[in-house]
Amino acid sequence: MKLHILGICGTFMGGIAALARELGHDVSGSDANVYPPMSSQLEALGIALSQGYAPAHIAAAAEQIVVGNALARGNPSVEAVLDAGRAYTSGAQWLAENVLPGRRTLAVAGTHGKTTTSSLLAFILEYAGRDPGFLIGGVPENFGVSARIGSGREFVVEADEYDTAFFDKRSKFVHYRPWLAILNNLEYDHADIFPDVAAIQRQFHHLLRTVPGNGRLIVNGDDDNLAQVLAMGCWTPVETFGEREDADWRAQLDAADGSAFTVLYRGAAVGEARWSLLGRHNVMNALAAIAAAQAVGVAIADAVAALAAFRSVKRRLEVIGCTHEITVYDDFAHHPTAIATTLAGLRARVGSARIVVAMEPRSNSMRMGAHAAQLAPALADANAVVFLHRPGLPWDAGAVIDALHGRARSAADVDALLAALHTLAQPGDHVLFMSNGGFDGAPRRFFDSL
């Protein structure tokens, strides 16, 4: 079949494209924002990309249009598809109909940590010889691709609570009907589609309703919002992970930065992990992945041993390089909690060395100012911050900058931001770029200019 994917460079839709190509479909796509790592992955697969949403980009021979959730009514390609009466579907529905039947689906949901936890789970299964399929909202370094079919029984999917498409406002994860679901955490996010936490909780409960009684739920036992979701009704055995004494899966940190820890299962030490990731949040991600792997029959010892060989995901505290004693990182964190936990992990690793943050408020919630009050506290571990305050940002970042008491400044564009970083950066610094978008190539541009 010949498919055309609208919004193909999104991490999820790019994965759909890779799976469709592996299944033998003829795939093309278009997007308004074409940037790595997804554009590089698609080009390596030989998938034709078109910049922009001109209707002419959709070949007349395309038999089905797969529509990403970034596209709305009024988009010229969407209007052309509707006017012509062409066949269209969503990425989540295409996955559910073409890839997941006959597989044991393992879904990883949560406000934070989905990509890393999905990557961890897929790699543990790979390490155990299971050859899993997966679709992940990033590019795990161990695999080099964000999606593959795999020959094994298990299929790991990063299960997003964001809506499915302009014509389907349910969360994407309700399409997957998993045998096992990991619920990492639940906080307020996606202010453009959810009015409050309760609305997100309802969507999470819709996911719970689809997990069978002989399946498994792996749930963060420290998260009160998730506890409320379970209280709405639960029909599946639950295992918990977290810091509370009654959690089934816990960790004892053997290194302050989270690079070494002992895994505890129901109070007993079952393995010692040494790995390259940082932060308590990543230790929790690892516990969730180990618990899920054990639920499908992987020995705990094998799951723990896999961590030593695990390499992180691109743009998750990814080291771009180190030159002139300045280390440059690229990171996807865009929610205050993720920002805080990432910085805390880096601070534990680098000690008293200076951390300089360049931040782009790019997510819909960030642009709307939904998290503005939490941003300054989230940046507590940064010694200096340069905040990209593009003219189109609908809220004033001045209050955030003022709350950082002289440690922050703003820049109106990326060129000004890079110039400010050059005046700030000193030998021994760790310069961290944080954005969930392309950031106009700022991390690589800064590193190359040092």
- 226 against 394, higher pLDDT: 226
pLDDT for 374 = 75
Residue 322's contacts (CB-CB under 8 Å, 6 or more residues apart) are: 328
Confidence of residue 395 (pLDDT cuts 50, 70, 90): low
Is residue 168 located within the same domain as residue 40?
Answer: no
CATH number at residue 247: 3.40.1190.10
Q: How far apart are CA 390 and CA 110, in angstroms?
A: 29
Is residue 242 located within the same domain as residue 298?
Answer: yes
Asked if the model's pLDDT at residue 190 lies above 80, the reply is no
Residue 228's contacts (CB-CB under 8 Å, 6 or more residues apart) are: 201
Is residue 304 located within the same domain as residue 329?
Answer: no
Range of the domain at 51: 2-93
Is residue 227 located within the same domain as residue 249?
Answer: yes
The one-letter code for the residue type at 345 is G
Task: Count how many domains the chain has.
Answer: 3
Is residue 282 located within the same domain as residue 192?
Answer: yes
180-183 vs 216-220, strand pairing mode: parallel
Is residue 332 located within the same domain as residue 232?
Answer: no
User: What pLDDT digit, counting tens, does each position of 324-346 carry?
Assistant: 899 998 987 767 878 887 888 88
pLDDT for 440 = 81
pLDDT for 102 = 96
pLDDT for 192 = 72
Q: Which of 29, 58, 93 is the last residue of a domain?
A: 93
Q: How far apart are CA 138 and CA 313, in angstroms?
A: 7
Q: How far apart are CA 275 and CA 259, in angstroms?
A: 5
CB atoms near residue 231 (< 10 Å): 10
pLDDT for 408 = 84
Is residue 88 located within the same domain as residue 143?
Answer: no
Q: How many CA atoms lie within 13 A of 268 on its CB side?
A: 2
Q: How far apart are CA 34 and CA 260, in angstroms?
A: 38
For 88-116, what is the mean pLDDT? 96
Q: Which residue has 């050859």 as its token pair? A: 131
pLDDT for 108 = 98
Q: How far apart are CA 358 and CA 178, in angstroms?
A: 38
The one-letter code for the residue type at 421 is L
For 246-272, what is the mean pLDDT? 95
Asked if the model's pLDDT at residue 83 lies above 80, the reply is yes
Structure tokens at 47: 């998938």
Q: Which of the listed ranges 132-141, 237-246, 342-351, 419-428 does the model predict with the highest average pLDDT? A: 237-246
* Residue 38: C-alpha distances to residues 35, 58, 88, 195, 276 (Å): 7, 20, 23, 30, 24
CATH number at residue 41: 3.40.50.720
Report the chain's mean pLDDT, rounded to a whole number: 90
For 63-70, what is the mean pLDDT? 96
pLDDT for 409 = 87
Is residue 63 located within the same domain as residue 116?
Answer: no
Confidence of residue 101 (pLDDT cuts 50, 70, 90): very high
Nearest to 288 by CA among 146, 134, 106: 106
pLDDT for 218 = 98
CB atoms near residue 224 (< 10 Å): 9
Nearest to 389 by CA among 424, 364, 414: 414
* Residue 156: C-alpha distances to residues 27, 132, 353, 358 (Å): 22, 7, 38, 33
Helix (H) or strand (E) holding 157, with range, is strand 154-158
Q: How many CA atoms lie within 13 A of 58 on its CB side?
A: 27
Q: How far apart are CA 12 and CA 19, in angstroms?
A: 11
Q: How many CA atoms lie within 13 A of 27 on its CB side?
A: 24
pLDDT for 410 = 82
Residue 291's contacts (CB-CB under 8 Å, 6 or more residues apart) are: 182, 218, 239, 241, 248, 249
Q: Which of the listed ranges 135-149, 236-250, 318-332, 410-424 does the model predict with the highest average pLDDT? A: 236-250
Q: Report the share of the chain in percent with pLDDT over 70.
A: 95
Asked if the model's pLDDT at residue 314 lies above 70, the reply is no
Asked if the model's pLDDT at residue 364 lies above 60, the reply is no
Confidence of residue 361 (pLDDT cuts 50, 70, 90): confident
Q: How far apart are CA 168 and CA 335, in angstroms?
A: 25
pLDDT for 198 = 94
The one-letter code for the residue type at 449 is S
Asked if the model's pLDDT at residue 366 lies above 60, the reply is no
Q: Which phi and psi (to 5°) does residue 324 adopt?
A: 50, 35
pLDDT for 297 = 98
Lowest mean pLDDT across 17-31, 44-58, 157-171, 430-444? 430-444
pLDDT for 334 = 67
104-109 vs 180-183, strand pairing mode: parallel
Is residue 398 located within the same domain as residue 297?
Answer: no
Q: How far apart are CA 45 and CA 233, in angstroms?
A: 44
pLDDT for 229 = 97
Asked if the model's pLDDT at residue 369 lies above 60, the reply is no
CATH number at residue 407: 3.90.190.20
Asked if the model's pLDDT at residue 412 lies above 80, the reply is yes
Q: Is 139 in contact with 174 (CB distance < 8 Å)?
A: no
Q: Which of 290, 309, 328 is the last residue of a domain?
A: 309
pLDDT for 302 = 97
Q: Report the share of the chain in percent with pLDDT over 90.
A: 64
Asked if the model's pLDDT at residue 172 lies above 90, the reply is yes
User: What pLDDT digit, counting tens, does each position of 212-233 carry?
Assistant: 999 999 999 999 999 999 999 9
Is residue 44 located within the same domain as residue 105?
Answer: no
Lowest mean pLDDT across 14-18, 103-107, 320-324? 320-324
Confidence of residue 375 (pLDDT cuts 50, 70, 90): confident
Q: Which phi and psi (to 5°) does residue 73 adopt?
A: -55, 140
Is residue 60 located within the same domain as residue 114?
Answer: no
Asked if the model's pLDDT at residue 368 lies above 90, the reply is no
Nearest to 107 by CA among 160, 214, 161, 181: 181
Q: Which of 70, 93, 116 is the last residue of a domain?
A: 93
Please measure the distance between the N-terminal and C-terminal CA atoms of the chain and give it in whole angstroms: 48
Confidence of residue 441 (pLDDT cuts 50, 70, 90): confident
Is residue 237 located within the same domain as residue 296?
Answer: yes
